[in-house]
A and B are shown apart, each in its own frame.
Chain A
Amino acid sequence: GNSVTQMEGPVTLSEEAFLTINCTYTATGYPSLFWYVQYPGEGLQLLLKATKADDKGSNKGFEATYRKETTSFHLEKGSVQVSDSAVYFCALRQGAQKLVFGQGTRLTINP
């Protein structure tokens, strides 16, 4: 079945550091891919998405490129801020209606 594997956390960085959170997937066909962010005590917010190979999703300085050849959708940001501290979930859309989530990566940014 379809699955998503994320980089093991937690990840701790200093402010203004470069961020990469790895995400790889296993799926039949060409699923849509998503990154969701969850701030402490809150629900999930869509951060960015890509619907086909080579698409780049971007939002709030975060980027991720849909790489079919490596089945990856790594999340990157050039300069992180303390306010980026959260849990990040990679996900794919399976069939018409369901999301399959990775296990989540907790990110902490220190000032």
Chain B
Amino acid sequence: DAMVIQNPRYQVTQFGKPVTLSCSQTLNHNVMYWYQQKSSQAPKLLFHYYDKDFNNEADTPDNFQSRRPNTSFCFLDIRSPGLGDTAMYLCATYPFGQETQYFGPGTRLLVL
């Protein structure tokens, strides 16, 4: 049973055209993360939510925004995608106080 679901799995967009990626969870975890993973690199944390508290990494570009309307859903908005934003975007959840992060299958984004 899928626990962290990402939609779509593949997304193609044009340079500068806004795009939204979706993540949902059935785990009721209070922490949710967005990572960017470029080809042959480690995942890079963009930001995370602890409940409704938003925590941005210092080097995350302003072009990346996030919304978490409720516990189950979290969205990644890329306002004006550049060619360098082509990557896999991973969502993860974490039950605060425990050990393990749970990752979704990822959305592969291609910016043309």
Q: List A residues at the B interface (Cβ < 8 Å).
A: 32, 34, 36, 41-46, 49, 51, 89, 93, 96-99, 101-104, 106
Contacts and interface: CB of A to CB of B under 8 A. Distances in A.
Interface string B57-101: 000000000000000000000000000000000101010110111
Q: Number of contact residues on B: which range applies?
A: 20 to 34
A42 B106 contact: yes
Across chains A and B, which 3 residue pairs bring their CB atoms closest together, nearest first? A101-B42, A44-B103, A43-B103
A51 B96 CA distance: 15
Contacts, number: 47
Given A43-B6, A106-B40, 16 more contacts: A42-B105, A42-B106, A43-B90, A43-B105, A46-B101, A49-B99, A51-B99, A96-B96, A97-B48, A97-B94, A98-B45, A99-B45, A102-B42, A103-B41, A104-B40, A104-B41
Interface of B: 4, 6, 31, 40-43, 45, 48, 50, 90, 92, 94, 96-97, 99-106, 108
A10 B108 CA distance: 23
Contacts of A49: 99-100
B57 to A, nearest CB: 9
A97 B99 contact: no
Q: What is the predominant secondary structure among interface residues of chain A facing chain B?
A: strand
Given A44-B90, A104-B40, A93 B104 contact: no
Contacts of B90: 43-44
B43 A97 contact: no
Nearest to B57: A98
A41 B102 CA distance: 17
A89 B40 CA distance: 11
A97 B50 contact: yes
B41 A43 contact: no
B42 A97 contact: no
Contacts of A32: 99
Given A97-B48, A101-B43, A45 B103 contact: yes
